[in-house]
Structure formats: structure tokens, C-alpha cells
């Protein structure tokens, strides 16, 4: 877990450093002839599978979860301008040939498709990105008696429209952006008939307890009841990085006075 998290943080720092250089690219002159030459569907020479579609200023991978990315060709490199800015050296470009060197030092060799059927590979990922929104709200209740007092806790997991954009690398070392949606979780705790605590929780609440580069690519995915003791009513907030096994757990304690205390859990 710690090793995986460390590697992920390094990748995020790398992407962040790329992002910082993105603004200057907006003012650099691009090779419009090379961009025009790249229009259309391109196929992987090794697998004969559609790889990406270029239409105007947008590049779209065949990966069904990928989102379109703006791009520029400047000198001998192609720059993908998403939330992160990633560049790849162009090894060869012609009317029907496009070779690029990836971050894994592999050369991806592509050829222009002349088969209209290959365009269907991109139809599914041009739909609205609402598909990654959890459609159903979830409610979780817990009731416990402690020291003669009956406590009730309610958790409402509500899907939101807050986007989480994660940049990852495919098997060829190419950067792909995918869009996910965060949750807002409402928790309320009753001590007998008295509401001890109630508020909406979002991941910004944990900004002081997580790395600033990691928090934006996490989703507040769940809230579990743990126990009631002399310190108060305990929950565990679970933040996950989409499409990975990486999770971050936060301990939430609502004191008998209705005060919220937060602490990261040790992995």
C-alpha cells in the first residue's frame, strides 16, 4: 500500500510539473500543416486496432472511458493539453504515417485508416461523460446504545456533478484522461431525540490531512460507522483513486458536545 501510494504520488508530481508548462504553450506557434496532416483515424501498426481519432483541435483515444484532449504540434513534438500537459517526440510523420516516442521509450507506429468501420471504435466514448455518475443515492443507518443512551447515525451518499479528472498511462506510455464524479456525503447523529451533529461532508474537508497533489484525483466514496465510546460517535471516511486499489481512510469523531474531530488513519 505504501509503495503503491509513493509511486502514484511521484506520477502526480510529474504530471503537475508538466501542467505548469502548459500555459506557455498556448502562446507558442504551432505547426498547422502537421496538425492538418494528422486529421482522421489512426490505427496501431502492431495490432491493426484503432488508436486515436483527430478532429480539428481534438484528439480522442479509442479507449471507451477516455475524454477528448486538445493538442498542438510544435516543432518535432505533439503536446496533449488536458488537465496535464504531456509531450511526445514525433519520430516520423507523413500523409499515412505517424510515429511517436512515449514516456516508456517505446515507439508507437500508426498508419492512417482507410476503413470507415474503424470510426465506430470512437462512437461509444463520444457520449456524455454523465455515465460515470453514480445514479442512485445510498442511505446507511446505524443504531447503538452506549452508557444507557440510544444513538442513531444516518449517512446519505449523494452523487454530485463535481468532476474528478485523472490522468493515467496506457500500456504504451500514452497519457489518457478519464472523467469521474465525486460524492457529497451527509451525516447526522442523534443522541436520543436530540440532533447532536448534522452536515454535508465533501473531500475538501480533508485538505489539511492529504497531499495537495493527491486529493484532487480522489473520490469521497464511502462513510462507515465504526463505534460509539466515551470520545463520541466514530465514522471512517473512505477516499479512493478511481480505477486503482489506492484508498485513504480518515477517522471522524463526533464528540458528545457535537464537535467534529478528524485524523488520518494509519495504513
Where along the chain do its domains lie? Answer: 2-126, 129-264
According to DSSP, the β-strands at 138-146 and 194-201 are: unpaired
User: Length of the chain in residues, anyone?
Assistant: 267
Distance separating alpha carbons of residues 79 and 90, to the nearest angstrom: 10
- The 3-state DSSP class for residue 148 equals coil
- Out of 2-11, 197-206, 208-217, which region has the weakest mean confidence (pLDDT)? 2-11
- The 3-state DSSP class for residue 131 equals helix
More confident residue, 173 or 180: 180
Helix count (H) and strand count (E) of the chain?
Answer: 3, 16
Q: How far is CA 79 from CA 22, 27, 121, in A?
A: 9, 13, 23
Distance separating alpha carbons of residues 132 and 33, to the nearest angstrom: 36
More confident residue, 129 or 138: 138
pLDDT at residue 28, as a whole number = 76
Q: Nearest-CA neighbor of 176 among 102, 107, 245, 110?
A: 102
Beta bridge partners of 90: 100
CATH top-level class of 2-126: mainly beta
Model confidence, pTM: 0.71
What are the tens digits of pLDDT across the range 212-260? Answer: 989 999 999 999 999 999 999 999 999 999 888 899 999 999 999 999 9
More confident residue, 98 or 26: 98
Average of per-residue pLDDT across 136-158: 92
Beta bridge partners of 183: 159
pLDDT at residue 24, as a whole number = 64
One-character DSSP codes across 175-197: EEEEEEEEEEEEEEEEETTEEEE
Do the domains at 2-126 and 129-264 have one common CATH topology? yes
CATH superfamily of 129-264: Protein of unknown function DUF4738 (2.40.128.510)
How sure is the predictor about 23, in pLDDT bands with cuts at 50, 70 and 90? low
Whether the per-residue pLDDT at 45 is higher than 90: the answer is yes
Average of per-residue pLDDT across 39-66: 91
Amino acid at each position: 500500500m505504501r509503495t503503491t501510494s509513493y509511486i502514484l504520488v511521484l506520477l502526480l508530481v510529474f504530471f503537475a510539473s508538466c501542467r505548469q508548462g502548459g500555459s506557455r504553450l498556448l502562446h507558442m506557434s504551432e505547426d498547422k500543416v502537421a496538425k492538418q496532416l494528422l486529421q482522421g483515424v489512426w490505427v496501431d501498426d502492431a495490432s491493426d486496432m484503432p488508436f486515436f481519432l483527430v478532429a480539428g483541435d481534438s484528439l480522442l483515444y479509442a479507449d471507451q472511458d477516455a475524454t477528448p484532449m486538445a493538442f498542438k504540434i510544435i516543432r518535432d513534438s505533439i503536446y496533449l493539453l488536458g488537465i496535464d500537459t504531456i509531450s511526445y517526440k514525433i519520430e516520423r510523420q507523413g500523409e499515412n504515417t505517424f510515429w511517436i516516442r512515449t514516456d516508456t521509450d517505446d515507439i508507437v507506429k500508426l498508419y492512417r485508416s482507410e476503413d470507415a468501420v474503424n470510426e465506430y471504435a470512437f462512437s461509444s466514448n463520444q457520449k456524455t461523460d454523465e455515465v460515470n455518475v453514480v445514479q442512485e443515492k445510498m442511505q446507511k443507518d446505524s443504531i447503538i446504545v452506549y452508557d444507557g443512551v440510544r444513538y442513531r447515525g444516518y449517512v446519505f451518499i449523494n452523487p454530485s456533478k463535481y468532476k474528478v479528472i485523472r490522468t493515467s498511462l496506457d500500456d504504451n506510455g500514452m497519457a489518457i484522461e478519464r472523467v469521474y464524479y465525486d460524492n457529497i456525503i451527509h451525516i447526522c447523529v442523534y443522541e436520543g431525540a436530540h440532533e447532536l451533529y448534522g452536515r454535508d461532508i465533501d473531500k475538501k474537508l480533508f485538505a489539511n490531512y492529504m497531499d495537495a497533489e493527491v486529493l484532487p484525483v480522489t473520490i469521497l466514496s464511502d462513510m462507515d460507522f465504526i463505534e460509539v465510546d466515551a470520545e463520541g460517535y466514530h465514522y471512517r471516511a473512505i477516499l479512493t483513486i478511481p480505477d486503482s486499489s489506492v484508498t485513504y481512510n480518515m477517522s471522524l469523531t463526533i464528540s458528545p458536545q457535537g464537535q467534529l474531530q478528524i485524523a488520518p488513519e494509519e495504513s
